[in-house]
Amino acid sequence: MLKGKYVLLSLAAALVCWQVAGVATVNSGIVDACKSDVTATGGTVLVCPLGDGDPLTAALGPVNTMITLTVRDNTNTGIAGIPATDMWLVGCNDGLLLCGGSQGSNADNATNGSGVTTFSNEPIAGGCDTGLYAVVQGVVIQNPANCTPKCLTIAARSPDYKSAGAPGPAPCGGDLKCPDSKVTNADFSWFVTHYPTGTNPGAPYLACADYALTAGAITLADFTKFSVHFAGAGHKCPI
Amino acid sequence: MKKALAGVLAVALAGVMTGSAMAQVPNVQVYFDPAFTQTQTACGNPGTLQDLYVVMNNWNFNITGEDFSIDYPPSMIWAYETFPDPLTTVSIGTSPTSTGGIAIAYANCCAQDGFQAVHVLTPTIVWGPCDCGQGPIPLVVRGYTPLGKTGPSAIRKEDFTEFAGVGMTSLICPGIIATEQSTWGQVKALYR
């Protein structure tokens, strides 16, 4: 009887060892951020807390910066059926304030049979950032070559750069960034500090205020693009 | 005599064609009346206020912003300016060239229809000393100088592309055109 138990335990142990040894070849269905990948052409988009910025498919230039994300598990197998709400974009330097949290930048669809999905729309956000990370189920997708976070060179710039104060975050001075999900006089007065005028002809260039990419200068095109989101009732996050 | 007549007609025709072509060029002009018909005026009484009407003509696209400056002569002292729809308009600067000029932009709802004359600004001036005996006094539209422009420019709504236009000249004391009484017979006699 006792001998039979030993045999049974030995068989169970052997089974565990066999499974552990073969773990690299078994589909886990768990996202492997280092084996997944995300790609896109670099570019620049205007993002707005109202969601009417430049789509990634029509970035400045115009350039198509649509993002393609392939989600894989530890065996390099694409994971199908990950919900769109489980995948989103954030600023590489934490410079974007997403409207409504991660739902402000969800993927277009759930992953397909090959684990692939896309992002066609710009993040619904305020702030400014030089690049975008793709996040799947809370994990930043890495560069498969070196397993470090992969920052896509898609700059996102919003006319919402400053806070008007309570009930939003505290206002901040100079070019410090403190978006509050609405485009207000605080943002306009900040923008004007970078717009050449008769009293400030040498207004310093700041990329975050360059919404139209006109030769590295802040121009009338930038002002008009800013004003589309500010004049009248300033745009704000509807959530 | 016929050759001379033909020459005169050719010059006249060329003048008409030039005027017609100029009229199609995107431009910014100051008018002295709200119907946008008067680009010339006599001197006003010193100390009185007068509204001017800055109008964009022939841009032929939806305008989401523009910039320009106005070279006011010494006889016109700029006082202030207003927008036709201040609730949907934002601006940077003021119109006098001496201040650099003004940039105007519109809310997303309210781009201007550049396929027709667009009234964009109403400067109010105070008349200063003004003497028509000194000849015509120009009131010239120029560019937004902080960005190095010499003429007005505007932005097309659809793609935020910038286009340059022509700054027009309006006149104070346009001068008197000499006339004399005559008859058809005397006019015809000139060409016989």
- Count CB atoms within 10 A of the CB of residue B26: 20
List the one residue out of B145, B166, B156, B91 whose CA is nearest residue B123. B91
Q: Which of residues 40-99 of A touch B (CB under 8 A)?
A: 52
Please answer yes or no on whether B65 and A226 come within 8 Å at the CB atom.
no
Ranking A46-50, B22-26, B78-82, B157-161 by mean pLDDT, the lowest is: B22-26
Question: Quick one: pLDDT at residue A45?
Answer: 97
Q: Is the pLDDT of residue B104 over 80?
A: yes
DSSP state of A49: T
Lookup: tokens for B38: 């008067």
Lookup: tokens for A224: 């008009």
Residue type, B92: I
pLDDT category of residue B5 using cuts at 50, 70 and 90 = very low
> Which residues of chain B lie closer than 8 angstroms to A221, CB-CB?
65, 155, 160-162
A231 touches chain B (CB under 8 A): yes
Question: Quick one: pLDDT at residue B182?
Answer: 74
Question: Quick one: pLDDT at residue A15?
Answer: 53
| β-pair type (B118-127, A132-136) | unpaired
A195 touches chain B (CB under 8 A): yes
Degrees, nearest 5: CA angle A98-A99-A101: 65
Question: Quick one: pLDDT at residue B186?
Answer: 76
pLDDT along chain A (239 residues), means of 10: 62 56 62 97 97 96 96 96 97 97 95 97 97 97 96 98 94 96 96 95 95 87 96 91
The ipTM (two decimal places) reads 0.81
Please answer yes or no on whether B92 and A226 come within 8 Å at the CB atom.
no
Please answer yes or no on whether B107 and A197 come within 8 Å at the CB atom.
no
- Chain A residue with minimal CA distance to B69? A198
Tell me the nearest-neighbour CA distance from B20 into chain A, angstroms.
30
How far CA B173 is from CA of A76, B34, B93, B123, B137, in Å, comes to: 83, 19, 29, 20, 6
pLDDT category of residue B20 using cuts at 50, 70 and 90 = very low
| β-pair type (B137-142, B62-71) | antiparallel
Tell me the nearest-neighbour CA distance from A219 into chain B, angstroms.
7
A17 touches chain B (CB under 8 A): no
- The helix or strand, by DSSP H or E, that contains position B140, with its residue range, turns out to be strand B137-142
A171 touches chain B (CB under 8 A): no
Instruction: Please state, in angstroms and rounded to a whole number, the distance separating the CA atoms of residues B101 and B71.
Output: 9
